[in-house]
A and B are shown apart, each in its own frame.
Chain A
Amino acid sequence: MTDTLPSNTAYELNPDALLAAYRTMRTIREFEERVHEEFATGEIPGFVHLYAGEEASAAGVCVHLDDRDVLASTHRGHGHCIAKGVDPKEMMAEIYGRVTGSCHGKGGSMHIADLSKGMLGANGIVGGGPPLICGAALAAKLQGTGGVGVAFFGDGASNQGTTLEALNLASVWNLPAIFVAENNGYAEATSSTWSVAADNIADRAAGFGMPGVIVDGFDFFAVYEAAAEAIDRARNGGGPTLIEVKFTRYFGHFEGDQQAYRADEVARARETLDCLKRFRGRVTETGQLADHQLNESTTRSTGSSTTPSPRPRPRPSRPRPTSPPTSTSRTDQRRAVRSRTSEEAHSWPGPSATARRSTRRWRRRWSATSRSS
Chain B
Amino acid sequence: MADARIAKVTMPKWGLSMTSGRITEWLVEEGTEVKAGAELAEIDTDKINGVLESPADGVLRRIIAGTDSSAPIGATIAVVAPADVPDAEIEQVVAEAEAQLASGEVEEPQGPVVATVEVDGRPISYATMGDGDEVVVLVHGYGGDKNSWLFVQEPLSRTRTVHAIDLPGHGTSGKDVGDGSLDTLAATVLGFLDVVGAGRAHLVGHSLGGAVVTAAAAAAPDKVSALTLVAPAGFGSRVDAGYLRGFASAGSRRELRPHLGKLFADESQVTRQLVDDLLRYKRLDGVGAALETLLGTLLDGDDQAIDAAPLLATVEVPVTVIWGRADKVFAPADASALGQAKLRVVDGAGHMAHMEKPNEVVAAVEAAAGQQRATRETRELVGNEGGEVPRA
A contacts B directly (C-beta below 8 A): no
